[in-house]
Copies of this chain bind each other. A is one copy, B any other.
Amino acid sequence: MQRAALELIADRGYDQTTVAEIAVAAGLTERTFFRYFADKREVLFASQDRFIALVVDALIAAPPDLAPLEAVVTAFGASTTWFDERRALAQARQGVIDAHPDLQERELAKIAKLSTAMTQALSDRGVSEPQAALAAAAGVAAFRFGFAQWLADADGHDLESHVLSGVDELRKVIAI
């Protein structure tokens, strides 16, 4: 169903694609669609949930002596090869999302979910509440920055180096 949805929406646009059409294209009915996905947008974000789980697990498993922001960056590192192997798909998906405000909203919500999950994981590592929240926010900002650069980057540096340069930029901005 996710594949069918991405193809249909990429083809004719989000508004012009009904849930019924997606379901039929996958050989099912509209009602069944809503048994798998909470709403229409969600069909494009199921993979995002897996990504979040992956990164949070990596954060929990990170060496306990790392500073908060370093632990966050390390955790993101665990996901970068997964992306590096699927750059074309990620670009297609991002194109669809960037084309519709409703989808951008959902993406922001997923990012926020990631951020709060990382905050929680940092708390569990013994980081204080404010430090955890801001380290997660900063790390996520750097990742988003690096991710955008990576998607746009024609000469194919890998995602991780883009994320690291995002952290560097962040340090420069803050250090003033």
- Contacts known (A68-B173, A173-B68, A174-B170); A137 close to B131, Cβ less than 8 A: no
- Contacts known (A131-B169, A134-B169, A141-B137); A176 close to B109, Cβ less than 8 A: no
Does A138 interact with chain B (Cβ within 8 Å)?
A: yes
- Contacts known (A69-B174, A173-B69); A134 close to B130, Cβ less than 8 A: no
Q: Is the CB of B109 within 8 A of A101?
A: yes
Q: Which of A112, A131, A134, A175 has the most CB of B within 10 A?
A: A134
Number of copies: 2
Q: Is the CB of A138 within 8 A of B106?
A: no
List A residues 133-176 near B (Cβ within 8 Å).
133-135, 137-138, 141-142, 145, 166, 169-176
Of all chain B residues, which has the CB nearest A109?
A: B105
Q: Is the CB of A176 within 8 A of B131?
A: no
Q: Is the CB of B172 within 8 A of A131?
A: yes
Q: Is the CB of B176 within 8 A of A69?
A: yes
Q: Is the CB of B173 within 8 A of A138?
A: yes
Which A residues fall within an 8 A CB radius of B? Answer: 67-70, 101, 104-106, 108-109, 111-112, 130-131, 133-135, 137-138, 141-142, 145, 166, 169-176
